[in-house]
């Protein structure tokens, strides 16, 4: 009797499980899963397709064309500093012009003070830039420029230390020569005194 109950109970559980499987793998469930994955893929694609706008708030559609700024940076990269300096002086304090000043202040030939001033301009306009543009400017311009400034500052400090040390060495050499001259004079006096004593003995 117990054996029959166990067999019946086992058969009941087995059939119940088989009935649940089609529900889990039903077309409706699979359709919902497919729709969810399609929607997430479309959202990811739409984010990738969105242009990188330069400014956080702007009514001008051209501000979403980052290619303009990349071309601008490329065109002025090899421009000599005097020419870039004159262009900076001709620009206004409008946000677009300030960003141009920042790009014009990059480059290897930019003097320390001009590069330092450009860092201030970057900090001024960063809050007005879009999040992605802010990240780009920070990584591509601000951090490398900051590293150059720190390196130049360290080189200037080392140069001053070396100049001071070389000046001290020259001073020490002069003092040593004076002392050597005084010692030579004392030795000459001592030698003359000894000679006179020897002559008196004779």
Q: Is residue 136 part of a domain?
A: yes
Q: Is residue 5 part of a domain?
A: no
Q: Is residue 133 part of a domain?
A: yes
Q: Which pLDDT score, from 0 to 100, does residue 108 have?
A: 81
Q: Tell me which of 34 and 81 has the higher pLDDT.
A: 81
Q: Is residue 102 part of a domain?
A: yes
Domain that holds residue 80: 61-154
Q: Is residue 52 part of a domain?
A: no
Q: Is residue 179 part of a domain?
A: no
Give me the mean pLDDT over the 115-124 stretch.
94
Q: Is residue 67 part of a domain?
A: yes
Is 80 exceeded by the pLDDT of residue 145? yes
Task: Out of 36-45, 73-82, 95-104, 112-121, pick the least confident.
Answer: 36-45
Q: Which pLDDT score, from 0 to 100, does residue 109 have?
A: 87
Q: Which pLDDT score, from 0 to 100, does residue 52 have?
A: 72
Per residue in 35-77, pLDDT tens? Answer: 555 555 454 444 455 667 888 876 566 567 788 888 899 899 8
The domain total for the chain is 1
Q: Is residue 69 part of a domain?
A: yes
171, two tokens: 């001073």
């Amino acid at each position: 009797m117990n054996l029959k109950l166990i067999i019946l109970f086992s058969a009941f559980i087995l059939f119940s499980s088989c009935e649940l499987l089609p529900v889990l793998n039903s077309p409706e469930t699979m359709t919902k899963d497919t729709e969810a994955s399609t929607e997430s893929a479309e959202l990811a694609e739409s984010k990738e397709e969105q242009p990188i706008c330069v400014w956080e708030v702007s009514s001008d559609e051209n501000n979403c064309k980052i290619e303009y700024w990349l071309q601008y940076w490329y065109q002025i990269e090899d421009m000599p500093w005097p020419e870039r300096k004159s262009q900076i002086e001709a620009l206004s304090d409008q946000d677009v012009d300030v960003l141009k000043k920042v790009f014009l202040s990059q480059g290897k030939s930019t003097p320390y003070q001009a590069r330092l001033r450009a860092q201030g301009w970057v900090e001024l306009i960063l809050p007005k830039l879009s999040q992605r543009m802010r990240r780009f400017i920070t990584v591509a311009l601000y951090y490398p420029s900051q590293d150059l400034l720190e390196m130049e500052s360290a080189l200037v400090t080392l140069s001053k230390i070396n100049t001071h040390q070389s000046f001290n060495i020259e001073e020490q050499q002069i003092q040593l020569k004076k002392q050597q001259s005084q010692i030579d004079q004392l030795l000459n006096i001592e030698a003359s005194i000894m000679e006179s004593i020897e002559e008196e003995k004779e």
